[in-house]
Structure 1
């Protein structure tokens, strides 16, 4: 396993529960997570329940709802969809990563152990690491994110690409000194979206993103404050602006959004991609982690000690690629919605589809990994 992020660690847990010996290699010197808050939808929580850690995950999260408002504070209603299509769990990425690392077993994680290359054979794969050592395995799982080194070898010519003009700013700060009566997500002007959500531990997670952003100037805080006006009515007070103003500059995370283009394949006979390594997408649908957790669960269901690795990976790819092609279509409908009301409606349509029961998944293949 390459990558000790959410998907890599969840894959490790799923494979261990299937009876497979797992070693997770992580190039960083510690378990850490880039980002702040993370939304987990019901399908991800069902996976964690299946893996025996659902209650622990819920204990570090706050039940929340994904409803949108306009800058005047009016709810953008989507009456054709039910309440269950709006509910998710907000967790802190770093806390979730620590929980997953404990569940997979710290002894099964090799830190400061970056991936270099692999050599694939009929009966296995040899993984060469950046420190000059190597390991033999039956299967290599590349869960090493949008900039995946495993993908670069497995599917050359498909590097991560900028989602041009799409920027995001976010932070988690203590709620002390603020009255935050509810969670609020706002669809504003100039292609801006943002808001704030209360966490389970007395903090507030705020975010703001913009499609088609002009070139950036000033500090990260100045950039957010320039855009937060697009999320409020003229002259009206803004709790979001107050939260941003109270955030230390060094706590603000600012990113150019990166995407992985559609890949012609995700697997070979002995190598497989999962999570952002295979399908990094825009966070405006806030489902990347949940969909990656689904990847991990499917690998755990398909792989079992002693058998046909290529058949299992082929079944995984056959299931996943069409699903993500449809995700891309639904995500594009949200992004290019002409009005805030249409954005809200397309978003609810996406979450409804994602949470709906999927067709019967492939049968487990007996393998050793």
Structure 2
């Protein structure tokens, strides 16, 4: 029988049930275990759940969708994210199916502008993969920890004293509540924590297709294709394995032809004829999402904390949305692990971790608004502070 939870002095008691003649009886012996309720079973929510479970907490995760899955696209994980994956026990599974491109270059209107070797004897380690692959690895790590995940269980809000409210009318008390329920977070909105939300001129279509003939030589690199004639468009061409290709296709919101779903392949092929084999294969896949940022007055209220897109949604221009989400989820678990005062621990956690996230979000927003990446990735710039960061909860000499 699953353990159940009841509050006493702010702690949750895990009690082993026994059955006599079909009637449950509680043992007198009780062990104090802190408990967390988490809204959202995405990258951030599962990372927080695993990290808390590793530190002796009981955890329950609520996912609004009926299935546990990731949106069908690709994703970049820099070294900071790889360190977190190592810490939560998902690294080996991720690496087993990830792709390490030899180089990253920028091309504008057919001219190669910049090139950087990656994943070799240099300071930039970057793995690309499908989001499904990354998610499956993190989910497997959560399953190994026997973490309870409830699907079709949507959060409608939370209270600062540590209560998660669900769409079915239940209220779930906990020592800690975590809102990891995405850019439209109901937990965050119920607490009135939004400071600003900004939207930008461009958005992105994310699609996965087969690589077809786009293999070998330069086609094994990550390539940032830009075109400004006859219209401003961008395709971040990203191999995710031997056969999988991820394309992040940027188009202005005002450009109805280029931002339409289903994708108008002919519009894109006119600007990027070399990618015709991949663009012709898109069909009805993909969705268009506007670039936007969300900043909060603070990342917590009482014993309720926000992580991931719920706390700091950012444009994907630095590919650090997932990296920052996982870093902050792990560091949150470290901060509250043995804290007597959860409220104070959350304030210290934010003071320590937020400056780097704010910096990364600001740089990503600048790149989104200015389209500065058309001149090449600023490898020497402070944009890569997060990618080079050693996350809280990971040792400096961690072997990857």
TM-score range (shorter-chain normalised) is 0.7 to 0.9
Which consecutive unaligned segments of at least 5 residues does structure 2 have?
1-37, 394-400
Give the match for residue 76 of structure 1.
114
Q: Deviations over 1:295-334 (max 9, x none)?
A: 1111122121562211210111112332233123322442
Residues 155 and 339 (structure 1), Cα distance of their counterparts in 2 relative to 1, 3 Å cut: closer
Give the match for residue 163 of structure 2.
126
Counterpart-to-counterpart distance in 2, 1:357 and 1:5: 22
Residues 84 and 4 (structure 1), Cα distance of their counterparts in 2 relative to 1, 3 Å cut: farther
Instruction: Name the structure with the higher strand share.
Output: 2
Which consecutive unaligned segments of at least 5 residues does structure 1 have?
363-369
- TM-score after normalising by structure 2: 0.77
Q: 1:202 aligns with which of 226, 243, 256?
A: 243
Give the match for residue 286 of structure 2.
253
Give the match for residue 76 of structure 2.
39
State the structure with more CA Rg: 2
Instruction: Name the structure with the higher helix share.
Output: 1
Residues 191 and 212 (structure 1), Cα distance of their counterparts in 2 relative to 1, 3 Å cut: farther
Give the match for residue 384 of structure 2.
352
Give the match for residue 277 of structure 2.
242
Q: 2:207 aligns with which of 149, 162, 171?
A: 171
**Greater length-normalized contact order (CA 8 Å, ≥ 6 residues apart):** 1
Is 1:272 matched with 2:310?
Answer: no
Q: 1:334 aligns with which of 352, 358, 367?
A: 367
Q: Deviations over 1:227-251 (max 9, x none)?
A: 4533x4xxxx41x2221112222xx
**Structure 2 counterpart SS, 1:46:** helix
Residues 258 and 277 (structure 1), Cα distance of their counterparts in 2 relative to 1, 3 Å cut: farther
Give the match for residue 351 of structure 2.
318
Counterpart-to-counterpart distance in 1, 2:176 and 2:315: 29
- TM-score after normalising by structure 1: 0.83
Give the match for residue 185 of structure 1.
224
Give the match for residue 297 of structure 1.
330
Residues 341 and 77 (structure 1), Cα distance of their counterparts in 2 relative to 1, 3 Å cut: farther
The Cα of 1:109 is off from its aligned counterpart by: 0.4
Counterpart-to-counterpart distance in 1, 2:56 and 2:77: 26
Count of matched residue positions in the alignment of Structure 1 and Structure 2: 345
Counterpart-to-counterpart distance in 1, 2:184 and 2:170: 22
Counterpart-to-counterpart distance in 2, 1:301 and 1:156: 23
RMSD over aligned CA atoms reads 2.8
Counterpart-to-counterpart distance in 2, 1:297 and 1:218: 36
